[in-house]
């Protein structure tokens, strides 16, 4: 029973649009009412009715060590004793910046912000200021936050809810955003040819994580690097999801391709709101106060977020959990595939490291077009069946799932068992 969550949702709708502060939380695409979470620890979350679920959302990726990791909570608690925010510089900002620049060779300097949206928005402004060009290239189905420039053919909640057009986005802004097809390098080349010396940057999720999980095909990221270099444009990797998630050095380490600017978030906040963008010094020195490109934030570098982020990144660096995460993710994938073979239901499994997605589709999913062929109605039934069997997933066909260090082999076995039960339920 989830009566308390239902009552809370009814109350929330009186005071917040749709009863939520982020659209996908509303469960519109899967039916039913959203959960209201009261507490969490390790791999489990508990709703307001104290139902426990094995969690594969992990706060949308940042909780790579699971919920309420002791070292992270300790860092936040000790920092909070001295105050929560000052609107001034703190030593914690330097500590986090130093460890990030030490891990990412592409980042000489980094600027902290408060969200992934701020990071991508600021990186694009910087690219425009540095190159003195106006147009940008983004990819259909990729999501870089809710800044105006990024909501043209966006992924994540905009894709999940099927929001048409770009309400609230001016025609001028839309005209400066050029759309290419993810994993189709020829569409990028054509845009460069048609807009000679007008394109400031190409921004891409190196692993698309907001239309489900869609890995880059071989040569795609390197091809983007080459095209940007040839045309004097900057290459921006939006690693808000992949940064520190699929490898310590993110997708650029995983695939061996170096961007000009990198956007980070989620994990570098250890579960608290944060974002960052960084790159080579000659580009970053264009930002105020050293240069003319203005960007600011009263709460940027918030001491609590810096402490949580530093604790999390330090753990990642010292413990190297990536082989363990890969082993667990592979165990889960193999178990799910074994179950899939028992049912006459088309399911495509996409995975990169500890992020993955199950598409209810007949053919492999390699871009937005193939992702959109997924049976979202069937996914909604599957989602609710998994929920009834104690598994919490992203309430959308077009979002990534995450595994954490805290997920045990028993959690994985329970998930595989729930998967089999859920497929049986949706066939009846």
Which residues are CB-neighbours of 375 under 8 A, at least 6 positions away? 346, 360, 361
The Cα 7–Cα 36 span in angstroms is 10
Residue 266 annotated in active site: yes
Residue 15 annotated in active site: no
Give the rounded distance of the alpha carbon of 20 from its chain centre.
19
Nearest C-alpha neighbor of 269 from the set 101, 428, 107, 60: 60
The Cα 387–Cα 52 span in angstroms is 10
The Cα 275–Cα 272 span in angstroms is 10
Residue 143 annotated in active site: yes
Cα dihedral 165, 169, 172, 175 sign: negative
Tokens standing for residue 55: 């969690």
Which residues are CB-neighbours of 116 under 8 A, at least 6 positions away? 144, 145, 238, 240, 263, 265, 266, 275
Tokens standing for residue 161: 């809810």
In terms of Cβ atoms closer than 10 Å to its own Cβ (0-12, 13-18, 19+), residue 274 is buried
Q: One of 53, 104, 143, 254 is an active-site residue; which one?
A: 143
Q: One of 138, 153, 266, 381 is an active-site residue; which one?
A: 266
Q: What is the dihedral of CA 61, 65, 70, 74, to 10 degrees?
A: -50
Q: One of 47, 140, 238, 411 is an active-site residue; which one?
A: 238
Which residues pair with residue 407 across a beta bridge? none
Q: What is the dihedral of CA 243, 271, 407, 206, to 10 degrees?
A: -20
The Cα 248–Cα 153 span in angstroms is 30
- Residue numbers annotated as active site: 143, 238, 266
């Amino acid at each position: 029973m989830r009566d308390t969550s239902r009552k809370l949702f009814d109350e929330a709708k009186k005071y917040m649009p749709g009863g939520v502060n982020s659209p996908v939380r509303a469960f519109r695409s899967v039916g039913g009412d959203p959960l209201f979470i009261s507490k969490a620890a390790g791999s489990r979350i508990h709703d307001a009715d104290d139902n426990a679920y094995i969690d594969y959302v992990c706060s949308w990726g940042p909780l790579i060590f699971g919920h309420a990791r002791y070292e992270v909570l300790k860092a936040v608690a000790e920092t909070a004793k001295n105050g929560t925010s000052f609107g001034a510089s703190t030593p914690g900002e330097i500590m986090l910046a130093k460890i990030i620049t030490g891990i990412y060779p592409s980042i000489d300097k980094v600027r902290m912000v408060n969200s992934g949206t701020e990071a991508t928005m600021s990186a694009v402004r910087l690219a425009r200021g540095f190159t003195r060009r106006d147009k940008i290239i983004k990819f259909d189905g990729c999501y870089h936050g809710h800044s105006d420039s990024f909501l043209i053919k966006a992924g994540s909640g905009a894709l999940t809810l099927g929001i048409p057009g770009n309400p609230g986005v001016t025609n001028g802004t839309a005209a400066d955003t050029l759309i290419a097809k993810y994993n189709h390098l020829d569409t990028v080349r054509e845009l460069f040819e048609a807009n000679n010396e007008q394109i400031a940057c190409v921004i891409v999720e190196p692993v698309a994580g907001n239309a489900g999980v869609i890995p880059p095909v071989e040569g795609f990221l390197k091809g983007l690097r080459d095209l940007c270099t040839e045309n004097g444009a900057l290459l921006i990797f939006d690693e808000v999801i992949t940064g520190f998630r699929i490898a310590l050095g993110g997708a650029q380490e995983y695939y061996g391709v170096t961007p000009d600017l990198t956007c980070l978030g989620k994990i570098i906040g250890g579960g608290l709101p944060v974002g960052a963008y960084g790159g080579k010094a000659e580009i970053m020195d264009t930002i105020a106060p050293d240069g003319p490109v203005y960007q600011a934030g009263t709460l940027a570098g918030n001491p609590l977020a810096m402490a949580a982020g530093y604790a999390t990144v330090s753990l990642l660096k010292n413990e190297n959990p990536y082989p363990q995460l890969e082993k667990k993710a592979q165990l889960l994938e193999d178990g799910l595939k074994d179950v899939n073979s028992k049912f006459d239901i088309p399911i495509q499994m996409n995975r990169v490291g500890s992020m993955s997605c199950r598409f209810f589709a007949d053919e492999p999913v390699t871009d937005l077009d193939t992702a959109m062929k997924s049976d979202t109605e069937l996914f909604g039934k599957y989602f609710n069946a998994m929920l009834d069997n104690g598994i919490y997933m992203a309430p959308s066909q077009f979002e990534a799932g995450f595994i954490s260090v805290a997920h045990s082999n028993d959690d994985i076995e329970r998930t595989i068992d729930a998967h089999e039960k859920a497929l049986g339920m949706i066939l009846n």
